[in-house]
Amino acid sequence: MANELLRALDRAGRPRVLVLGDLLLDRYTWGDAERISQEAPVLVLRSHHQEARLGGAANVGRMLRGLEAAASCLGVVGDDDAGRQVQRLLAESGIDSAGVVIDPNRPTTVKERFIGRAGGRHPNQILRVDHEVRDPLDGQLEQQLLEQLRHAVRRHELLIISDYGKGVCTPALVSEAISAARQAGIPVLVDPARDVDYARYRGATLIKPNRTETATAWGQPIAGPADALRAGQALCRRLDAELAVITLDSEGCVLARRDGGGLAVPTRARAVYDITGAGDVVMAVIGLCLASGLPAETAVQLGNLAGGIEVERTGVSIVTRDDLRRELLAQQRPGAQKLLDLESASRTLQQHRDRGETIVLTNGCFDLLHVGHVSYLAEAAALGQVLVVAINSDAGVRKLKGPGRPVIGQADRAAMLAALACVDYVVVFDEDTPHRLLETLRPDVLVKGGTYAAEQVVGREVVAAYGGQVRVTGVVDGISTTRIVNSLRGRPRADDWPSVDDERPPTAEPLPSDEPFEESETVYRVSSFKWSFK
């Protein structure tokens, strides 16, 4: 199954998708929830930083851009700072905002979230404040948006209607939008608002309510996938829709067809940090797939996978094709989702940083993984919540060790490290030094294994410049990669050599004092620490 989905993901194109709906601004205030106020029985949040992100239909557009589709947004913002910020963020995300209309009589909808971390634990949303007006658009703005849409549908392969119930998706506008898209020959996907008459969505290709919305529209509780399938088929018949996708939180989702067919798509158990944005990314992935001509079953399976990735992250974050590929590869080969390129690693580590987690990084060749490596990696992992291991590429190892190395190629070295429970992510780098890597990833702690001072660690000045720490772990006596390789090749025993730090035969010239340290050339000594495999 994973192979089929990987091939389908590779076939997905870069379609042009039009998104109509409520354009929102999401504001976040992050901080530490340290104590209870003396003024009232409420938490006191000590703010660390604030940020703003696109929300609602604008977030669907942002998700589409992250999936490498072209996206255009149609909607309304107010003549205010929040509205101007939405337009700026749309432009920065590469989303066409020519169809955004300004309404001077209504404020831009803003959802303000306060995220607190207490007792060193995972941060949680402690309060949300909504600034909004839900009044329907007036007739003039409704007609203006409709004219924009009639011109825009001809330039797109698919229309998504993202109805957040903030007044933009009026029954007349939605009905006319569906009709215009069908006349243009493009599919229409609807993410419906709660507590509205679904008759406005009649004629859509696909409708995607969640469990609660489906129960309200169907008039009965949704106990599980079987109920969802029956309800979805009933909705298809009632709304003259071809497909319904019912999302069922921890039970995955169900695809129902008007003709009576269907598919239940389970999800694997995950650590759920935040469900915000999960519905948007599911809709974006389904839209990408259907606009690319992929089967609905494939679209729903990939959308379900994307939703699972999103809930493991705090706040709304972009899920990329690479994220989906890593998840699918992990189903074939354990640990594959830990293998990141530099760009993906930077984006992923920001998620951990947002959760207040300490990021630890160590780097080296890690040729012939042995007990010395495992011991020092376990000790490094105990210094934070996230351990990143950066390994030299095969070309980099040859520069450092000579033409006979590495013994094991970079793909297999990375896979072996990723299989360790204490390692969270593995990154391969080509440069002679880790400086660019450190400047990009900015770990809180840089760790090396060896018997030397922290000021001898290569890259220490990069980490120190932004306030990070440099730590040196202990070593395991008598174990090194070079010693193992030489014993296999029948070379002299390392015990006869003059220094554990210079593992070449006595005839060799001594190493210069400023030669970069490589942990695979070090003899390790066991230090006292508590093993902490995650």
Number of domains comprising the chain: 2
Do residues 417 and 451 share a domain? yes
306 and 384 inside one domain = no
280 is catalytic: yes
CA distances from 148 to 33, 97, 390 (A): 46, 11, 50
Report if residue 531 sits inside a domain. Answer: no
Task: Output DSSP code: residue 221.
Answer: -
Residue 231 lies in a domain: yes
CATH number of the CATH domain containing 428: 3.40.50.620
Residues 78 and 198 in one domain: yes
Q: Residue 273 falls within a domain, yes or no?
A: yes
In this prediction, residue 534 carries a pLDDT of 29
Alpha-carbon distance 54 to 108, whole Å?
12
pLDDT of residue 208: 97
Residue appearing with tokens 């220490």: 460
Asked if residue 387 belongs to a domain, the reply is yes
Per-residue model confidence as pLDDT tens digits over 479-514: 555 565 566 556 544 443 333 233 333 333 333 333
pLDDT of residue 498: 33
Answer for the pair 387, 423: CB distance below 8 angstroms, yes or no: yes
Higher per-residue confidence, 513 vs 8: 8
Confidence check: pLDDT of 461 > 90: yes
Has residue 528 been placed in a domain?
no
Among the listed residues 70, 36, 73, 76, the one whose alpha carbon sits nearest the alpha carbon of residue 58: 73
What's at 137, amino acid-wise? L
pLDDT of residue 409 exceeding 60, the answer is yes
Is residue 10 predicted with pLDDT exceeding 80?
Answer: yes
Do 171 and 198 belong to one domain? Answer: yes
Rounded Cα–Cα distance for residues 17 and 387 (Å): 38
258 assigned to some structural domain: yes
* Dist. CA 278–CA 15, nearest whole Å: 21
Residue at which a domain ends, from 280, 311, 332: 332
Contact 471, 454 (CB under 8 A): yes
Average pLDDT on 140-159 reads: 95
pTM: 0.74
Residue after which a domain boundary falls, among 332, 361, 380 = 332
Single out the catalytic residue among 163, 280, 354, 367: 280
- Please enumerate, as own/partner, the contacts of 529-533 that have beta carbons within 8 Å and a separation of 24 or more: 529/378, 529/379, 529/382, 529/474, 530/382, 531/378, 532/378, 532/381, 532/382, 532/422, 533/378, 533/381, 533/420, 533/421, 533/422
Q: What is the mean pLDDT of residues 187-205?
A: 95
The domain of 23 spans 2-332
- 534 falls within a domain: no
Q: Are residues 363 and 320 in the same domain?
A: no
Residues 277 and 375 reside in one and the same domain: no
Neighbour order of strands in the sheet with 70-78: 96-103, 70-78, 16-21, 158-162, 188-191, 206-207, 243-247, 253-257, 262-265
Q: Are 324 and 305 in contact (CB under 8 A)?
A: yes
Q: Which of 332, 362, 386 is the last residue of a domain?
A: 332
Do 328 and 355 sit in the same domain of this protein?
A: no
pLDDT at 490: 60
Please check whether residues 280 and 407 belong to one and the same domain: no
Same domain, 62 and 99: yes
380 and 276 in a common domain = no
| 344 and 387 co-located in one domain | yes
pLDDT tens-digit map of 40-98: 988 899 898 899 999 999 999 999 999 999 999 999 999 999 999 999 999 999 999 99
User: Structure tokens of 50?
Assistant: 């604030």
| Contact (CB, 8 A) for 248 and 211 | yes
| Within-domain flag for 515 | yes
pLDDT band of residue 528 (cuts 50, 70, 90) is very low
For residue 170, give the CATH number of its domain.
3.40.1190.20
Residues 322 and 441 both lie in one domain: no
Q: Given the DSSP bridges, would you call strands 124-131 and 109-117 parallel, antiparallel or unpaired? A: antiparallel
